[in-house]
Amino acid sequence: MKINNFSAGPSKIPQKVLDQLSVDIINYQNLGYSVLELSHRSKIFQDILNSTKNHLQKILNIPENFETIFLQGGATFQNTIIAANKPKLMTDLTFLLSGTWGAKTHKDFQDYFKKEINSIVLSNQKFDELIEQVNNLNSNYLYITSNETIEGIQIKNFKSFENKKLIIDMSSDICSYEFDWKNISYIFAGAQKNLGIPGVTICIFEKEFIENNELTSYMNLHNHIDKDSAFNTPPTFSIYVMLKVLEWVVEIGGLNEIENNNILRANKIYEFIDNNPSKLIPLAPKQYRSSSNIVFDFKDKHQTDLFLKKSYKDGFLGLNGHRSVGGIRVSNYNSITETMVNNLLTYIEDFILD
Ligand code: PMP
């Protein structure tokens, strides 16, 4: 049976990357051992790490005054390590809350600082109104989740928040479009959506963002900078997979090409939903619809359950909405192909007509 994997993360890896990994796991570069067995102190792994960093820097056009490091602990650990390394945020940060992940980070920051942190909520306001609201805030820093993976809400016009320094959780849309770094201070993302598998978190931040501090060991970002992401044993294989995915990104034409294709596929799905108003309901506000995660539901809830059970049996994986919201979620990350989307839409059409 042909599998169409639309999981929200860990998610589909491009076939070409999988083919390469399957060779490298058995015999890396004909050396007679596996890439899984590489010492993190070996020259071979150092080259992999440097190449991964260089690829990211080129693809994302990271300015020279930014550090790029790889950590563990997922995006979730960022909620603590950022707060710890930047105590100033306790009084100089506002959260733009557009969904579950931002809300979790907001709570973690409040728990860490033992203090209420200002927030504004994205609901149905027009983007212009939102910008005005944000630009009128007193705080210098603004936290946003560029793509709320559960609610399917995306904001990527970072430049519009012109007088704010942004801290951005890009876990579910990193490397899916180009952006200007002008007002960005810190971005982070777990790798398991657009950049491979879990285990490594990408952190890119302005050198002057981190304050001098006395944090110990793994908690102190200066240690990770000084030891070039190898303060302790880094997740070697997750980093290697990321390198292979980044090489694939370059090969297929880079971020502009990726963004255009992602948008084309997403629009096709949204159009299908909008064209079937008697059966389907889109769940994200139109002006913030994500091209990474498309969330909708059947009008008749009974159909949702039936669809999810049937589609899973027929090889469509990961279509269930997050357990907190239910419904259907189609994750349309970089690795998703047009054929997969066509297969899915034909499948939903047949289901609706049945
Ligand atoms: N932020 C976003 C936007 C996410 O989608 C996720 C995971 N789905 C997280 C944070 C949490 O990531 P992790 O499980 O890697 O800690």
Q: How far is the CA of 73 from the centre of ligand 1 (A)?
A: 10
pLDDT for position 354:
82
Verify whether ligand 1 is closer than 6 Å to residue 74 (CB atom): yes
pLDDT for position 211:
85
Q: Write down the domain spans for the chain.
A: 15-251, 254-353
State the DSSP code for 64.
T
Q: Parallel, antiparallel, or unpaired for β 165-169 and 153-154?
A: unpaired
**Cα separations (Å) of 101 from 64, 87, 157, 173, 186?**
29, 21, 19, 13, 17
The preferred substitution site among 7, 147, 171, 202 for testing ligand 1, maximizing ligand atoms within 8 Å of CB, is 171
- Return the CATH fold of 15-251: Aspartate Aminotransferase; domain 2 (3.40.640)
At the fourth CATH level, the homologous superfamily of domain 254-353 is: Aspartate Aminotransferase, domain 1 (3.90.1150.10)
CA angle 190, 235, 192 (to 5 degrees): 25
pLDDT for position 95:
98
Q: How far is the CA of 288 from the centre of ligand 1 (A)?
A: 19
Verify whether ligand 1 is closer than 6 Å to residue 171 (CB atom): yes
Total residues belonging to the chain: 354
Nearest to 293 by CA among 326, 266, 257, 325: 266
For 83-122, what is each residue's pLDDT tens digit? 999 999 999 999 999 999 999 999 999 999 999 999 999 9
For residue 190, give the ligand 1 atom closest to its CA. 15
List strand residue ranges (DSSP E) for 15-158, in order.
66-71, 93-97, 118-121, 141-145, 147-148, 153-154
Q: In the chain, which stretches have pLDDT less than 50?
A: none
- SS3 assignment, position 67: strand
